[in-house]
Structure 1
Amino acid sequence: MTPDLTRRRWPVTSLCVLRDTLAARGISLAPFLAAAGLPADLLDDPANEVAASVELRVISAVLQALGDPPGLGLDVGQRYRVAAYGVWGFALLASATLRSALTLGLEYQDLTYSVMPITFVDQAEGSAVNFDDRGLPPSLRRYMVERDIAAARRIAIDLWGEPPPSRAARFRFAEPEGMAPLYEAALQCPVSFGAEGNELLYDRIDLDRPLPQANPVVAALHVEACHERLRRLRGQAPFVETVTACILARPGRFPDLPEVAAELRLSERSLRRRLAEAGIGYRDLVARLRHDLAVDMLTETGMAVEAVAERLGYAETASFTHAFRRWTGQSPSRFGGRRPGVQ
């Protein structure tokens, strides 16, 4: 296991997906959590986090107990919906094409649940998403490759609204005896084994077709600004980052505290308490996010003041202008005019 995995942490969402997959097979994840030293109620709160190295220990124990069944990773991976990735998935949904979504997603792949380096390259035969499993323990490689390729396929379906036409899938591992039809059915494309790398291939023309849910360019820039904001918050308390992702997952409006508490399956009192422990109140967090996003959009995207106010959930431009003067001492039109080329 690489040292990087001992430092990475992420929400328990990924373990919840594994739990639900096993439950559908009549298997409880609870004993495996206990064996890894994790509390029984860890998955009850989606704001909880787990180290990547600890999650891999849980997965390893599951695979050992079940005899490492071929195809389990495919089953798990197909349950990773784009919404499970928070603001990262939100950014992908705003992309104009699958190619631009892949490019943006891989730029910030540390916000995903993958433990493998993933790259996107153009080849003579098409474009390929490559999953490099060589840094993983051999006992985990097949499962992790299955899971991540199936998850990538599931995300592409969420972005398109229907299965996009994959050209082919390739795996480094040998074919599990007689299992090729299972892989082809799950990935809906030709599959080969014993390849030089693990790849999901697409025709270039398909990657460049507009996505059905694509937002206008201005909205895409707004989402990218949200994503950048989350990246800057990574040094804060993990719970604040989780709440931030929940707030930013709704384009054009900022949810109130009861709505965020319900989304995180917490009581309003618990949400207030945990934010207070991190040194910030909910209203202050929303105000700071609005401030930083307003600055980003006015200085980086050249959006009109009216459009910024709308994106930040203000019913009237005058209310936004008043708030912006309070934050910066300047009007948004004057502030935005500092951007080169913006009048």
Structure 2
Amino acid sequence: MLNPINRRRWPVNSLGVLRDALRARAIDIEPFLIAAGIEPALLDQPGGEVAATAELAVIAACLRLPGLGEGFGLEVGPRYRLAAYGVWGFALLASPTMRSALTLGLEYQDLTFSIMPISFVSAGGDDALVFDDAAAPPALQRFMVERDLTAALRISADLWDQSADCRAVSFRFPAPADPRPYERAFGCPLHFGAPVNAVYYAAGVLDRPLPQANPVLAALHVEACHQRLRSLRGEDAFIETVTAAILARPGHFPGMEEVAAQLGLSSRSLRRRLEDSGIGYRDLVARLRQDLACAMLRETGLGVEAVAERLGYAETASFTHAFRRWTGDSPGRFARKRHQ
């Protein structure tokens, strides 16, 4: 269940997506930001957040422009790549199947940018994501449905690393005068004036393994990420964003330059922002590795050499030395004590 909209805040990433869609139409978002009390520079600040109600005010104002009514959400939704969702997107990426990704994603709906409660149902041999627009402001309902359903397909495509394999899509609103933009956006049979807004998948499709799935490491990354995020949540939202970028590829710990590029920052800016949050990049990577190492040794039965390899160490001796520094114990002794 989503928290009330007036209690929700989220990263500025969503407004950044809207800004890009407006730019494609040669429209400047700044006047709408200012009118909603949002400093335009905030959109370029990593870790920046806005009240959900303020973003909705910006959207409502934009939709009053000529030509930005019906169908505009179809242009915005596909721009929501997994990276825009931060830790929520990482959690989905780490899941073994699309079904498990959807189940986890819906459990943490408050980490998304949707104001519509989303449910996952199975009926008549199909699986469906259902979007309830009943509580959305009437002026925003069509846009939100267009945006969030196309965003759902974009997320599915990112997870599958191919086009979203959906069977059909339905909308509660009536058929548009020109259905071709909808046909291009969804590429599957469409049903307007339906009882629900939903994306339908054929039975069994959601149980296919995701391309980056690793049954052991994925589960460990998700758990370690959740544990770390719970502790980081009170520190700084920017650290949460960097953590998600570091853990985005199981078994790979990128250098600071790679993470900075992924976040659209210079290495100097990333270093300065982390220092402002009270931690260096190497220290952040080290404690993430420590969490994962302890979890793998405790829960998987993997040998020390295998754990070192999965944590990106070229030599087992380097991992053993680092583990002693973290815990005061050797990884082998740590594993034996946990299984005694």
Deviations along 1:214-239, one digit per CA (max 9) or x if unpaired, are: 43322322432344245423232112
- Is the alpha carbon distance of 1:82 and 1:239 closer, same or farther for their aligned partners in structure 2, counting shifts above 3 Å? closer
What RMSD in Å do the two structures reach over aligned CA positions? 2.5
Tell me the number of residue pairs that the alignment of Structure 1 and Structure 2 aligns.
338
Paired amino acid for 1:238: A
CA contact (8 A) 1:324 1:331 kept: yes
- Is the alpha carbon distance of 1:200 and 1:64 closer, same or farther for their aligned partners in structure 2, counting shifts above 3 Å? same
Alignment of 1:45 with 2:45, yes or no, is: yes
CA contact (8 A) 2:229 2:240 kept: no
Secondary structure of the residue that 2:65 maps to in structure 1?
A: helix
- Tell me the residue number matched to 2:275: 276
CA contact (8 A) 2:82 2:155 kept: yes
Moved more, 161-170 or 200-209: 161-170
Distance 1:150 1:82 in 2: 13
Distance 1:194 1:338 in 2: 62
**What aligned pairs does 1:189-338 form with structure 2 within 5 A after superposition?**
189-211=188-210, 213-232=211-230, 233-337=232-336
Distance 1:158 1:333 in 2: 38
CA contact (8 A) 2:90 2:244 kept: no
Give the CA deviation at 1:70: 1.1
Moved more, 222-231 or 10-19: 222-231
CA contact (8 A) 2:290 2:326 kept: yes
Give the CA deviation at 1:320: 1.5
Distance 1:227 1:68 in 2: 39
CA contact (8 A) 1:325 1:332 kept: yes
- Is the alpha carbon distance of 1:94 and 1:286 closer, same or farther for their aligned partners in structure 2, counting shifts above 3 Å? closer
Q: Structure 1: 5+ residue runs without aligned partners?
A: none
Distance 1:39 1:227 in 2: 31
Deviations along 1:229-264, one digit per CA (max 9) or x if unpaired, are: 454232321122122222222432333334433433
CA contact (8 A) 2:131 2:196 kept: yes
Give the CA deviation at 1:143: 0.9
- Tell me the residue number matched to 1:110: 110
Q: Structure 2: 5+ residue runs without aligned partners?
A: none
- Is the alpha carbon distance of 1:95 and 1:310 closer, same or farther for their aligned partners in structure 2, counting shifts above 3 Å? same
Paired amino acid for 2:78: Q
Paired amino acid for 1:221: A
Moved more, 222-231 or 99-108: 222-231
CA contact (8 A) 1:87 1:249 kept: no
Moved more, 245-254 or 222-231: 222-231
Q: TM-score, normalised by structure 1?
A: 0.88
- Is the alpha carbon distance of 1:87 and 1:181 closer, same or farther for their aligned partners in structure 2, counting shifts above 3 Å? same
CA contact (8 A) 1:257 1:282 kept: yes
Moved more, 10-19 or 197-206: 10-19
- Tell me the residue number matched to 2:123: 123
CA contact (8 A) 1:247 1:254 kept: yes
Secondary structure of the residue that 1:235 maps to in structure 2?
A: coil
Paired amino acid for 1:140: L
Give the CA deviation at 1:114: 2.0
- Tell me the residue number matched to 1:85: 85
Q: TM-score, normalised by structure 2?
A: 0.88
Distance 1:9 1:217 in 2: 33
**What aligned pairs does 1:90-169 form with structure 2 within 5 A after superposition?**
90-169=90-169
Of all paired residues, the percent bearing the same amino acid is 61
Give the CA deviation at 1:104: 2.6
Moved more, 268-277 or 287-296: 268-277
Deviations along 1:185-226, one digit per CA (max 9) or x if unpaired, are: 311122222322211111112222333x14332232243234
Secondary structure of the residue that 2:183 maps to in structure 1?
A: helix
